[in-house]
Amino acid sequence: MKTKPPIHETTIPPLQLDDGRHHRAKIGYLLLATEQTIEDDVFTLCPEGVGVHFARVPIPDSITNETLAAQAEYLAATAASILPDGSLDVTCYACTSGSLVIGEDRVFRELRAGAPNAQPTSLITGVIKALRALKVNRISVATPYLDEINDREDIYLKDAGFDVLNITGLNLEKDSEMVRVPPDFLVEYALAVDHPDSEALFISCGALRTLDVVDTIEQRLGKPVVCSNQAMIWDTLRLAGIEDTIDGYGRLLREH
């Protein structure tokens, strides 16, 4: 006759929960479906304890005023898809040209609809805040965009109170081409576009790999340089209450 094995009694300790790996803040970024640069840049600059979370907004590989304006209808649903438990601290529409074409008011309204517990921002919002933090007014702007987008950006920045002395683009339409502009070229491009009377240079577009060389450009020009992803990350961190300074990526992250 077989004997039954002894019954093993399992004693489970009382369940404990902590604040998780992202105990300092959680930030959600809404990217273009074509985006290939921003995630790397965010992870490069993200301080320990800060969670960064991404979702993508549909768009063809064509960056025009028309395709960017069409993004507005997707923003609320995309924001709602990021951490639907409501724990996001900040949401950001991570497209410079898209946020200025749609307009910050509409972007914020859509982000709040999708993630009501999070503070909304956009990439152009971060840029404007960054330029104001640096206390500059006269600026030059280098972009990869078509002229139709540059015209909108020129007006938008002037309406925000800046004196745009020069704005020049590469007339690229495809995001898949913008991500292939080499950082070494961006250095020479920035030096060519900068107006001698400008107080700062803004290099627009999250697809460009400007973060790799923003410190180099700043040193070569001897004036502040703001680039899209640098400004966006700075803005979202500060909105989330993260005051860490970061060396090696321009005066903005080092001093503000």
Model confidence over 24-53: pLDDT tens digits? Answer: 999 999 999 999 999 999 999 999 999 999
Per-residue confidence (pLDDT) for residue 10, from 0 to 100: 85
Question: Are 43 and 98 in the same domain?
Answer: yes
Per-residue confidence (pLDDT) for residue 5, from 0 to 100: 67
Question: Are 143 and 169 in the same domain?
Answer: yes
Question: Are 34 and 91 in the same domain?
Answer: yes
Q: How many domains does the chain have?
A: 2
Question: Are 81 and 147 in the same domain?
Answer: no
Per-residue confidence (pLDDT) for residue 221, from 0 to 100: 98
Question: Are 114 and 158 in the same domain?
Answer: no
DSSP string, the chain: -PPPPPPPPP-PPPP-----S--SEEEEEEEETT--SHHHHHHHHPPTTEEEEEEEE---S---HHHHHGGGGGHHHHHHTS-TTS--SEEEE--HHHHHHH-HHHHHHHHHHH-TTSEEEEHHHHHHHHHHHTT--EEEEE--S-HHHHHHHHHHHHHTT-EEEEEE------HHHHTTS-HHHHHHHHHHH--TT-SEEEE--TTS-GGGTHHHHHHHHTS-EEEHHHHHHHHHHHHTT-----SSS-HHHHH-
Question: Are 120 and 49 in the same domain?
Answer: yes
Calculate what percentage of the chain has a pLDDT beyond 90: 95
Question: Are 167 and 242 in the same domain?
Answer: no
Question: Are 158 and 43 in the same domain?
Answer: no
- pTM for the predicted model, two decimal places: 0.95
**Longest pairwise C-alpha distance within the chain:** 99
Per-residue pLDDT band for 74 (boundaries 50, 70, 90) equals very high
Question: Are 157 and 175 in the same domain?
Answer: yes
* Contact criterion met (CB below 8 Å) for 247 and 145: no
Residue 253 lies in a domain: no
Residue 20 lies in a domain: no
Residues whose CB falls within 8 Å of the CB of residue 48, separated by 6 or more in sequence, listed in order: 24
Residue 100 lies in a domain: yes
Per-residue pLDDT band for 9 (boundaries 50, 70, 90) equals confident
Residues whose CB falls within 8 Å of the CB of residue 131, separated by 6 or more in sequence, listed in order: 139, 162, 200, 202, 226
Per-residue confidence (pLDDT) for residue 3, from 0 to 100: 67
pLDDT exceeds 90 at position 121 = yes
The residue-averaged pLDDT of 162-191 equals 98
The residue-averaged pLDDT of 169-178 equals 98
Q: What is the residue range of 115's domain? A: 25-124+231-247
Residue 86 lies in a domain: yes
Per-residue confidence (pLDDT) for residue 2, from 0 to 100: 65
The residue-averaged pLDDT of 170-182 equals 98
For 188-230, how does the pLDDT look when each residue is reduced to its tens digit (9 = 90+)?
999 999 999 999 999 999 999 999 999 999 999 999 999 999 9
Name 122's bridge partners: 93
The residue-averaged pLDDT of 63-82 equals 98
The CATH number assigned to the domain holding 179 equals: 3.40.50.1860
pLDDT exceeds 80 at position 7 = no
Nearest by Cα to 56 from 23, 34, 89: 34
Residue 101 lies in a domain: yes
Question: Are 86 and 205 in the same domain?
Answer: no
The residue-averaged pLDDT of 80-94 equals 97
* Contact criterion met (CB below 8 Å) for 119 and 27: no
Per-residue confidence (pLDDT) for residue 164, from 0 to 100: 98
Q: Rounded CA gap, 187 and 251, in Å?
A: 17
Residue 5 lies in a domain: no
Residue 10 lies in a domain: no
The CATH number assigned to the domain holding 120 equals: 3.40.50.12500
Question: Are 87 and 142 in the same domain?
Answer: no
92: left (phi over 0), alpha (psi -120 to 50) or beta: beta
Nearest by Cα to 115 from 69, 78, 70: 78
